[in-house]
Amino acid sequence: MPGTRIVAAVMGNGHIGLIEEDIPPLRPGTVLVEVHNSLVSPGTEVGGWRGLRKQLDSPNPNAKPRPFGYSNAGIVREVGPGAEEFKVGDRVACIGGGFAQHTGYAVVPHHLCVALPANVTFAQGSYAMLAATAIHALRRGEPEFGEFVAIVGLGIVGQLAARLHQLAGGYVIGWDTIPFRTDMARKRGIDAVALVGVDDEVALTKAFTRGYGLDGAVFAFGGDGTRALASIRECLKQTADGHRMGRIVNVGGARFDYVFGLSNADIREASRTGPGYHDDDWEVGPAYPPVVMRWTTRTNLELAMRLVSEGKLNVDCLTTHTIPLQDVDARISAALADPDSILGVVFEMEH
């Protein structure tokens, strides 16, 4: 095994460069993975594709390179004590900030790794983090069969959340300001879409719910969500005395000025992939008792990969760019000429 690795990093000039560093040591409860593919999560990793493009125009030469990435897939090459459920040669999907980076080799806690089904590719496995994030957001919203749900923001997590809500028996309308994304959602079979800024999303949504109103919504975007919150509240179901009701899940980190009104609506946060993530003792140690905590980060990851394996969750259609890691700077810089046409960016590693 080599002693060093190449890691993708956001540079102060807005480019994505490659730096060399030592491979982290194999600790108890971790595995060393030879990475074959990784997925970029643009909102949290690079500040969004539009943000990265702005950074190209306004570079900060004093900024240090910032390695990034938290979702990849590959082959187990070494197993630390306490991670013996894996063996050398196993194909795995891995997650974790600071662990599952865009690199050729990653050392990852064993509870942030799951076995890949035989028919799931490494590129598909690299979607594990965002698929599990969408699964946890669905759980936080507690949807019931047949409910009406709006997904606000049709990036990767929004597209996945829309499909998962349909699998759970819901009727889903997606909102976004980017035509490319609403078109993609339509091609994926979403029930309805609203192009915000062109369509009247409130009127379309009320008609979509046949006048009943939304039961819930998922905010799958970052930035100022004040206007979106006001619009969604207007679409929620309403009691005879004028109170709006429903469940709004914020998974994308949207910020909004909240004004109290006559409402019984719930606003809930969905933190990443589920219980366990960022619990250092759990990540490298024993599992939570499954009879007490059925759905953890790991079981959400396992379910995500099962849904991909069974053809119920299509991630291939979300990939707009597949880029060899050694070509990352030139290819990303070229793609930023049209940032709104970028969705799933998968990096390929040579071995």
Q: What is the pLDDT of residue 77?
A: 98
Q: In the numeric block, which tokens belong to residue 247?
A: 């469940």
Ordered by start, the domain boundaries in the chain are 4-127+274-348, 134-269
Rounded Cα–Cα distance for residues 203 and 95 (Å): 40
Q: What is the pLDDT of residue 196?
A: 97
**Is-same-fold flag (4-127+274-348; 134-269)?**
no
Q: What is the pLDDT of residue 260?
A: 74
Q: In the numeric block, which tokens belong to residue 21?
A: 């560093």
CB-based contacts of 244: which residues, under 8 Å, 6+ apart?
A: 213, 233, 234, 236, 237, 238, 261, 262, 263, 264, 265
DSSP 274-293: STTTT-HHHHHSPPPPTTT-
Q: Looking at the whole model, is its pTM more than 0.85?
A: yes
Rounded Cα–Cα distance for residues 97 and 72 (Å): 11
Q: What is the pLDDT of residue 158?
A: 97
184, 207 Cβ separation under 8 angstroms: no
Neighbour tally for 131: CB within 10 Å: 32
Q: Residue 337 corresponds to which amino acid?
A: A
The CATH code that applies to domain 4-127+274-348 is 3.90.180.10
In CATH terms, 134-269 corresponds, of 3.40.50.10420, 3.40.50.620, 3.40.50.720, 3.90.226.10, to: 3.40.50.720
Q: What is the pLDDT of residue 235?
A: 97
pLDDT less than 50: residues of the chain: none
At residue 213, the 3 state secondary structure works out as coil
At residue 307, the 3 state secondary structure works out as helix
CA distances from residue 309 to 37, 41, 125, 302, 340 in whole angstroms, order as listed: 17, 22, 10, 10, 29
